[in-house]
């Protein structure tokens, strides 16, 4: 059940981010909702599941939009793994830690994406890119992350309660 629900969330996010999110861009900046979902899922389910959903979501993105297949898959897999690692036992109802982690993950992801896609091609205008793309995207993800974490948290709780009821029923 959990796999189906989160697969549907990833696909729905992919459809929304490739169509509708372009219409809500601020100064040409589109939020990275895939990254937000991966971080939220990793926080709630752990590093292994975060890495798996990060790889799958990143590969889907790479196959459709990426110039180099595997870049987003690798970066989102690493992000999911790292995001799920230190927060295994944190108070999940607290929204401060997830939002700060979303901001840190967004900043790290965007910098790594710049290095792989632009710096290695000789484009060395990092500080310009930082001001025009990286920091605004991080801020956008930070604000949007509050709402997405709340939704993912609620969905995860519903699935967890249903799984626990099913386990209790089968005993």
Report how far residue 160's alpha carbon sits from residue 152's, in angstroms, rounded to the nearest whole number.
Answer: 12
The residue behind tokens 């169509």 is: 19
Residue 60 neighbours by CB distance under 10 Å: 19
| Beta-ladder partners of 26 | 29
CATH code of residue 63: 1.10.1760
The answer to whether residue 88 scores a pLDDT higher than 70 is no
Q: pLDDT band at 147, cuts 50/70/90?
A: very high
Mean pLDDT, residues 77-96 taken together:
78
What total number of domains does the chain contain?
1
Report how far residue 37's alpha carbon sits from residue 165's, in angstroms, rounded to the nearest whole number.
Answer: 26
Q: Which residue has the higher pLDDT, 124 or 106?
A: 106
pLDDT of residue 91: 67
Per residue in 41-75, pLDDT tens?
888 888 888 899 999 998 988 888 877 788 888 89
Per residue in 98-123, pLDDT tens?
888 899 999 998 888 888 877 667 77
pLDDT of residue 90: 67
Helix or strand holding residue 37 (H, E): helix 33-45
Per residue in 20-50, pLDDT tens?
877 877 888 888 889 999 998 888 888 888 8
**Domain containing residue 113:** 2-170
Instruction: Write phi, then psi, for 69 (nearest 5 degrees).
Output: -70, 125
Specify the pTM: 0.86
Q: What is the DSSP string of 46-59?
A: -HHHHHHHHHHHHH
Mean pLDDT, residues 86-93 taken together:
67
């Amino acid at each position: 059940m959990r796999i189906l629900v989160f697969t549907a969330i990833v696909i729905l996010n992919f459809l929304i981010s490739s169509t509708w999110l372009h219409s809500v861009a601020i100064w040409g900046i589109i939020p990275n909702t895939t990254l937000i979902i991966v971080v939220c899922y990793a926080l709630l389910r752990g590093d292994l599941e975060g890495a798996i959903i990060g790889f799958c979501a990143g590969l889907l993105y790479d196959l459709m939009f990426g110039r180099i297949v595997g870049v987003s898959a690798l970066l989102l897999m690493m992000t999911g793994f790292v995001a799920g690692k230190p927060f295994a036992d944190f108070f999940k109802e607290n929204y401060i830690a997830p939002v700060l982690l979303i901001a840190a993950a967004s900043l790290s992801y965007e910098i790594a994406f710049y290095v792989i896609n632009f710096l290695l091609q000789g484009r060395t205008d990092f500080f310009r890119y930082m001001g025009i793309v990286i920091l605004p995207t991080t801020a956008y993800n930070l604000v949007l992350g509050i709402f997405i974490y709340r939704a993912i948290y609620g969905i995860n709780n519903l699935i967890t309660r249903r799984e626990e009821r099913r386990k209790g029923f089968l005993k």
